[in-house]
A = this chain, B = another copy of it.
Amino acid sequence: MIQKHTRRMAPFTRPVAPMSRESAVRIIPLGGVEEIGRNMTVIEYDNDIVVIDAGLEFPIEETPGIDYIIPNTKYLEARKNKIRGLIISHGHLDHTGAIPYLLERIGSPTIYTTRLTKAMILKRQEEFPHSAKLYIEEIKSGDMVKLGQLKARFFDITHTIPDAIGAIIETPLGNVIYPGDFKIELDAKGKPIHLEQYTKLGRENNLVLLMESTNAEAPGFSIPEKTVHQNLEKIISEAKGRVIAATFSSLLERIIEIIKIAERHNRKVVIDGFSMKANVEIAQELGFFKAKHDIIIPADRINNYPPEKIIAICTGAQGEENAALMRIANRKHKHIKIQKDDTVILSSSIIPGNERSIQNLKDNLARQGARIIHYKVADVHASGHAYQEELKMMAKMLKPKFLIPIHGYYFMLKTNADLAETIGIPKENIVIPMNNGSIIEATKNKIHILRESAPANLVLVDGLGVGDVKEVVLRDRQMLAQDGIFVIITAIDSQTGKVKNSPDIISRGFIYLRESQELLRQTRYLIRKTVEEATGKMHPINTTYVKELLRDRIGKFLFQKTQRRPMVLPVLIEV
């Protein structure tokens, strides 16, 4: 499994040239173009840099044991004094999650964001008591802030969380527009929400559109969130027993809607999941909605009400270990046990990599008799990201000269670029970032990607360390996971070179030692033989040589006997 995804580990980088002499806007995605997650985009003009978003990505197969992957900010660290601000488009972790780890590194610039997003960032910051204080300036749609020679303006965006905004970075060459994550929904009359805003913006001098690509492969239009709300209401109104609705804690709009549905159908609401509770509290505090008095009850009171009077909204729809629904499925939840007539709604899609956990979740819930409704049997989830027709619509409305697809794996970006061509944007006006760190320069008439790129090695967060988990550590973890470790401790008489006592062997993850006494006996014999043959004519003892020899011989011997290759670590102690 080692280096399965070779692209990730050691991207090729050259020293980055200074800005072109000719006046140009530089656009650098530092994250988010080789993955879904850790979004961060740099917009640079002359002496000014504006950064948009600072997200995290969850660990991947090649990064066992780490907590998060965050954007590599070396390019920015070398240009701290040029950074005029960090704009955050909305409160999801793939746009905010890296703030506690990298803000100080890039000189703690002022953060510009909306009210709800600000509250969510500050809430999370409480988990990092040693981080420096954040300076957050609250902005809203329609506002303008000066950032050096650049100006930023903000506009409304429909996503799955309230208070999401897009950003317009005004440069002397024209606007760079970053809608961030968006979808296009229709109002009651069938008109796209925010239509006037987009068409008005389309009349400006729009140089570059940075277009998300998450759903660039999905034809047609995304399911409207309203449809999901209607379906949830129908399912809840018809449910005979309790309803347990699981979704992402970040899908705040849907969570609020489920609470409203509960009110309409006289059901009490249990909210279970730390982050979900926190998000609902913040939204209430800031007045984004107001739950009826007493509608939300604590989990330990769930059994005080008849089943048809209960909705539990909880985390864990992705089968996350220890999340509420997973604990319910595994019969480990303190207050909620699956009972007859329970309806479980999995109001989320499947994030790639979680298939097996979700399968296990569904299996265990079904074994206990729950009725399960998931997105494949009813529209109980909608993506917050534009499908092909919405992407095309946005590009047509905003009429940019150049288009750069961002936010997605390369193939998604490529598909998004192909889409843009179909609506008449010339091929040469579209640039696909090759990797994180790709540097794209746009002048008034031309856009191209530089041969040089910004540093982009993976930056990993593991416990208290940021960036300090090196490739070698990850490779070791992967090897250890395959065949374990085999430590040999041998005491040698430094005078005679003889092995004193029997060598100690410690092994983990290799074989079950208690049932392998004969193998251990043979191994100890071979250790003694190997050491004494080597040290016999050796004064003083060259321990490095002897250790190498042991590693090699014992490794081969164990492979021959077991076809496994544990990591062999010899320790020699001269006494």
Chain A positions within 8 Å of B, measured between CB atoms, are 1, 4-7, 34, 60-61, 64-65, 217, 319, 321, 330, 352-353, 355-357, 359-360, 362-364, 366-367, 372, 376-377, 409-411, 414, 434, 462-465, 468-470, 472-474, 476-485, 487, 489, 491, 504, 506, 508-512, 515, 561-564, 567, 569, 571, 573, 575
Cα–Cα distance between A469 and B509 once the two chains are bound (Å):
9
Cα–Cα distance between A575 and B564 once the two chains are bound (Å):
34
**Would you give 13 A-B contacts (Cβ < 8 Å), ordered by A?**
A1-B321, A6-B330, A65-B564, A362-B409, A366-B410, A462-B563, A469-B511, A473-B509, A473-B510, A476-B484, A480-B480, A504-B573, A573-B575
Please name the residue on chain B nearest to A571 by beta carbon.
Answer: B489
Question: Is the pair B562, A409 in contact by a Cβ cutoff of 8 Å?
Answer: no
Cα–Cα distance between A474 and B483 once the two chains are bound (Å):
9
Known: A65-B483, A573-B491. A5 touches B463 (CB 8 A): no
Give which listed residue, B1, B353, B360, B564, contacts A355 with CB less than 8 A.
B353
Cα–Cα distance between A485 and B566 once the two chains are bound (Å):
13
Question: Is the pair A468, B515 in contact by a Cβ cutoff of 8 Å?
Answer: yes
- Neighbouring B residues of A65 by C-beta, 8 Å: 481-484, 509, 564
Please name the residue on chain B nearest to A565 by beta carbon.
Answer: B463
Question: Is the pair A509, B476 in contact by a Cβ cutoff of 8 Å?
Answer: yes
Least distance between A468 CB and chain B CB atoms (Å): 6
Cα–Cα distance between A240 and B378 once the two chains are bound (Å):
42
Question: Is the pair A352, B359 in contact by a Cβ cutoff of 8 Å?
Answer: yes
Give which listed residue, B61, B376, B476, B482, contacts A477 with CB less than 8 A.
B482
Please name the residue on chain B nearest to A575 by beta carbon.
Answer: B575
Main SS class of interface, A = mixed
Question: Is the pair B487, A569 in contact by a Cβ cutoff of 8 Å?
Answer: yes
Please name the residue on chain B nearest to A500 by beta carbon.
Answer: B575
Cα–Cα distance between A230 and B517 once the two chains are bound (Å):
60
Least distance between A263 CB and chain B CB atoms (Å): 32
Known: A470-B512, A481-B477. A489 touches B410 (CB 8 A): no
- Neighbouring B residues of A366 by C-beta, 8 Å: 410-411, 414
Please name the residue on chain B nearest to A320 by beta carbon.
Answer: B4
Least distance between A155 CB and chain B CB atoms (Å): 31
- Neighbouring B residues of A491 by C-beta, 8 Å: 573, 575
Least distance between A31 CB and chain B CB atoms (Å): 16
Give which listed residue, B409, B465, B487, contacts A363 with CB less than 8 A.
B409
- Neighbouring B residues of A362 by C-beta, 8 Å: 409-411
Cα–Cα distance between A359 and B366 once the two chains are bound (Å):
31
Question: Is the pair A476, B64 in contact by a Cβ cutoff of 8 Å?
Answer: no
- Neighbouring B residues of A321 by C-beta, 8 Å: 1, 4
Give which listed residue, B360, B367, B571, contacts A504 with CB less than 8 A.
B571
Cα–Cα distance between A508 and B474 once the two chains are bound (Å):
9
- Neighbouring B residues of A484 by C-beta, 8 Å: 65, 473, 476-477, 480
Question: Is the pair B573, A473 in contact by a Cβ cutoff of 8 Å?
Answer: no
Cα–Cα distance between A511 and B466 once the two chains are bound (Å):
11
Question: Is the pair B372, A411 in contact by a Cβ cutoff of 8 Å?
Answer: yes
- Neighbouring B residues of A357 by C-beta, 8 Å: 4-5
Known: A65-B481, A481-B481. A462 touches B564 (CB 8 A): yes
- Neighbouring B residues of A474 by C-beta, 8 Å: 509
Give which listed residue, B60, B434, B476, contacts A367 with CB less than 8 A.
B434
- Neighbouring B residues of A5 by C-beta, 8 Å: 356-357, 360
Please name the residue on chain B nearest to A363 by beta carbon.
Answer: B410
Question: Is the pair A480, B509 in contact by a Cβ cutoff of 8 Å?
Answer: yes
Question: Is the pair B512, A473 in contact by a Cβ cutoff of 8 Å?
Answer: yes
Least distance between A514 CB and chain B CB atoms (Å): 9
Question: Is the pair B506, A569 in contact by a Cβ cutoff of 8 Å?
Answer: yes
Cα–Cα distance between A363 and B6 once the two chains are bound (Å):
12
Cα–Cα distance between A476 and B571 once the two chains are bound (Å):
21
List 14 other contacts, CB 8 Å, given A470-B515, A473-B510: A4-B319, A4-B321, A7-B364, A64-B481, A65-B483, A352-B359, A353-B353, A359-B409, A464-B561, A464-B562, A468-B512, A469-B512, A473-B512, A477-B483
Please name the residue on chain B nearest to A330 by beta carbon.
Answer: B6
Cα–Cα distance between A352 and B355 once the two chains are bound (Å):
6
Cα–Cα distance between A473 and B511 once the two chains are bound (Å):
6
Give which listed residue, B7, B476, B561, contacts A508 with CB less than 8 A.
B476
Question: Is the pair A367, B410 in contact by a Cβ cutoff of 8 Å?
Answer: yes
Question: Is the pair B477, A411 in contact by a Cβ cutoff of 8 Å?
Answer: no
Give which listed residue, B473, B508, B563, contacts A567 with CB less than 8 A.
B508
Cα–Cα distance between A571 and B5 once the two chains are bound (Å):
37
Cα–Cα distance between A363 and B411 once the two chains are bound (Å):
5
Cα–Cα distance between A127 and B126 once the two chains are bound (Å):
59
Cα–Cα distance between A550 and B482 once the two chains are bound (Å):
27
Cα–Cα distance between A571 and B64 once the two chains are bound (Å):
27
Closest 9 CB pairs of A and B: A463-B563, A481-B481, A352-B355, A480-B480, A363-B410, A476-B509, A65-B482, A477-B509, A362-B411
Cα–Cα distance between A65 and B363 once the two chains are bound (Å):
25
Most buried by B among A65, A414, A477: A65
- Neighbouring B residues of A487 by C-beta, 8 Å: 487, 506, 569, 571
- Neighbouring B residues of A377 by C-beta, 8 Å: 217
Least distance between A245 CB and chain B CB atoms (Å): 18
